[in-house]
């Protein structure tokens, strides 16, 4: 419905928009547009380097005709294309294989964030590129590990008895389910909070299987009655969630086990008002689709990709910063920075039909990552990912004056042991979120805590 709505024509001469507010460089366009909604001052901006090549052309063409965030349009296109291409192109880090499968979590207000709207045009263009992929591989309704594996399953065999004359004379292996004919799976979850809720249930192994899917594409369950296995699966996940839902449902396990840092996290918002909708000319979309067909055909003949000399030099200069751990919850959710940048740079290179990752591809990937990193800082900010420590930090901030150990004991009551309280304090000090000073009382010094 987003794609087929009618065009909106403006009369008059409203002021020219400031494209840099949206992460776009000045492209010299003369067209004025009063529909743009200015972002708040604190909102992250996308470095124009992210709009490199064909992906940037497509986003620029779509952007005036959708209320979806250009960042979401770009990431939907990149991740969708990476899934559509498949597992053949990859980069190696030692013996670790990184394919084109990526996960993205779009964080924005319900409805007003236009998270689903930003997927409409990329999905339509990709459906022109690969109709079979769009009709068979794009799914939703993620709820169990078994359901996930079934869509990309290997053959399922069972050992069954051979009977003759009412007696069992032996056993044979019988194929009870054929293998999935396509190991690509692109999951779009408009209510990702439901996925996080399901993952909290006892015995649910969905989190572990999604981690395996991102890492290597080999998944399995150990259930006795229905063992499932998938090898070489190519799974990408797009999730939509609000900030409040994410903070409420993301527990210590999801951050500690690395589930959430296998997602790019991007703040998104409604970028403009189009009461009558908007539409990109069909011939323009078909032209982009034709070019993407050539990209996909070339990419599927590609195997291992490496950086060229200049890109290797750039990578060496940024690697320390990307791979160095950071304190707090932000550090946990951004812990796979170098892997995400590598995968994104592969997609940008393939869009240029390049056999190597060049500097511009690496710079584009870095621009996307920097936006996601800024988003994570704004969403998780001064949280450490530990429930006790986060409660204590809120208490210290709210009280303002220096808080003592006695105050902390009274705040938690009898519900937390001395060891648990001390652990929370040490974590906040190590994260640089609180400071201490000693008050000399003539006897045992009294420790005061205040927000850093």
With residue 411 as reference, give the H or E element that holds it: helix 405-412
The pair of three-digit structure tokens given for residue 318, joined into one six-digit string: 């940024």
SS3 content of the chain, % helix, strand, coil (to 5): 45, 15, 35
C-alpha span between 417 and 412 (Å, rounded) = 9
The predicted structure's pLDDT at residue 385: 67
- Say whether 234 sits in a helix, a strand or coil: strand
Contact between residue 40 and residue 104 where contact means Cβ atoms under 8 Å apart: no
CB-CB neighbours of 123 under 10 Å: 18
C-alpha span between 144 and 443 (Å, rounded) = 59
Place of tokens 């063992």: 227
The predicted structure's pLDDT at residue 15: 40
For 209, 215, 435, the CA distances from 137, given in Å and listed in that order, are: 18, 19, 52
The predicted structure's pLDDT at residue 4: 37
Tell me the sheet residues that pair with 50.
none
pLDDT digits (tens, 9 = 90+) for 9-62: 333 333 443 434 433 444 333 345 778 999 999 999 999 999 999 999 999 999
CB-CB neighbours of 10 under 10 Å: 11
The pair of three-digit structure tokens given for residue 354, joined into one six-digit string: 């390049």
What is the end-to-end Cα distance of the chain in Å, rounded?
A: 50
pLDDT digits (tens, 9 = 90+) for 359-405: 999 999 999 999 999 999 999 876 776 778 888 888 888 887 779 98
Contact between residue 35 and residue 272 where contact means Cβ atoms under 8 Å apart: yes
The one-digit pLDDT tens for each residue of the chain (452 residues) are 333 333 333 333 334 434 344 334 443 333 457 789 999 999 999 999 999 999 999 999 999 999 999 999 999 999 999 999 999 999 999 999 999 999 999 999 877 778 889 999 999 999 999 999 999 999 999 999 999 999 999 998 888 888 988 898 898 888 888 999 999 999 999 999 999 999 988 888 999 999 999 999 999 986 656 678 999 999 999 999 999 999 888 876 677 688 999 999 999 999 999 998 889 999 999 999 999 999 999 999 999 999 999 999 999 999 999 998 777 788 889 999 999 999 999 999 999 999 999 999 999 999 999 999 999 999 987 677 677 888 888 888 888 777 998 889 889 887 888 888 888 888 888 777 888 888 887 778 889 888 87
Kindly report the backbone phi and psi dihedral angles of residue 359, in degrees, each rounded to the nearest multiple of 5, phi listed first: -55, -45
Query: b/e for 210-240, b at 16 or more Cβ within 10 A?
Result: bbbbbbebebbbeeeeeebbbeebbbbbbbb
For 210, 217, 278, 378, 422, the CA distances from 125, given in Å and listed in that order, are: 27, 26, 15, 32, 55
Residue 252 DSSP one-character state = H
The predicted structure's pLDDT at residue 427: 81
- Say whether 330 sits in a helix, a strand or coil: helix
The predicted structure's pLDDT at residue 56: 98
Nearest to 66 by CA among 12, 26, 123: 123
The pair of three-digit structure tokens given for residue 74, joined into one six-digit string: 């770009």
The predicted structure's pLDDT at residue 245: 93
DSSP-derived pairing of the beta strands 138-139 and 184-189 = parallel
Nearest to 328 by CA among 275, 284, 382: 382
C-alpha span between 59 and 47 (Å, rounded) = 14
Contact between residue 23 and residue 266 where contact means Cβ atoms under 8 Å apart: no
Kindly report the backbone phi and psi dihedral angles of residue 169, in degrees, each rounded to the nearest multiple of 5, phi listed first: -110, 0
The predicted structure's pLDDT at residue 252: 64
Q: Given CA atoms 124, 126, 132, 135 in this order, what sign does their dihedral have?
A: negative
- Say whether 276 sits in a helix, a strand or coil: coil
Residue 137 DSSP one-character state = T
């Amino acid at each position: 419905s987003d794609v087929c709505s009618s065009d909106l024509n403006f009369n008059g001469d409203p002021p020219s928009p400031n494209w840099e507010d949206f992460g776009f460089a000045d492209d010299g366009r003369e067209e004025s547009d009063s529909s743009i909604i200015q972002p708040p001052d604190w909102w992250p901006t996308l470095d124009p380097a992210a709009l490199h090549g064909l992906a940037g052309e497509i986003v620029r063409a779509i952007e005036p005709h959708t209320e979806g965030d250009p960042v979401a349009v770009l990431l939907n296109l990149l991740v969708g294309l990476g899934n559509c291409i498949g597992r053949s192109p990859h980069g190696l880090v030692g013996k670790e294989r990184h394919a084109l499968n990526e996960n993205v979590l779009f964080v924005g207000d319900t409805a007003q964030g236009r998270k689903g709207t930003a997927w409409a045009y990329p999905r339509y263009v990709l459906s022109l590129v690969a109709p079979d992929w769009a009709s068979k591989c794009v799914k939703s309704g993620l709820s169990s590990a078994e359901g996930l594996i079934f869509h990309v399953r290997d053959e399922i065999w069972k050992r069954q008895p051979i009977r003759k004359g009412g007696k069992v004379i032996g056993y044979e292996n019988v194929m009870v389910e054929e293998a999935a004919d396509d190991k690509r799976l692109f999951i779009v979850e408009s209510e990702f909070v439901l996925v996080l809720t399901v993952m909290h249930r006892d015995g649910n192994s969905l989190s572990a299987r999604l981690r395996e899917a991102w890492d290597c594409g080999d998944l399995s369950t150990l259930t006795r009655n229905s063992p499932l296995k998938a090898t070489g699966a190519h799974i990408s996940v797009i999730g939509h969630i609000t900030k409040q839902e994410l903070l409420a449902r993301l527990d210590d396990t999801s951050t500690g086990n690395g589930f959430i840092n296998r997602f790019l996290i991007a703040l998104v918002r409604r970028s403009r008002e189009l009461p009558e909708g908007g539409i990109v000319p069909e011939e323009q979309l078909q032209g982009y689709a034709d070019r993407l067909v050539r990209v996909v055909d070339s990419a599927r003949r590609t195997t291992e990709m490496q950086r060229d000399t200049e890109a290797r030099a750039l990578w060496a200069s940024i690697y320390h910063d990307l791979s160095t751990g950071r304190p707090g919850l932000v550090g946990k959710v951004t812990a796979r920075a170098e892997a995400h940048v590598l995968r994104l740079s592969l997609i940008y290179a393939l869009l240029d039909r390049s056999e190597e990752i060049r500097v511009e591809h690496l710079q584009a990937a870095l621009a996307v990552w920097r936006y996601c990193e800024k988003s994570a800082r704004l969403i998780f900010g001064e949280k450490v990912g530990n429930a006790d420590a986060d409660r204590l930090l809120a208490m210290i901030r709210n009280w303002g004056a220096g808080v003592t150990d006695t105050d902390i004991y009274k705040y938690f009551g009898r519900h937390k042991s001395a060891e648990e309280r001390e652990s929370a304090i040490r974590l906040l000090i190590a994260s640089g979120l609180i400071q201490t000073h000693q008050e000399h009382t003539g006897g045992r010094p009294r420790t005061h805590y205040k927000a850093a």
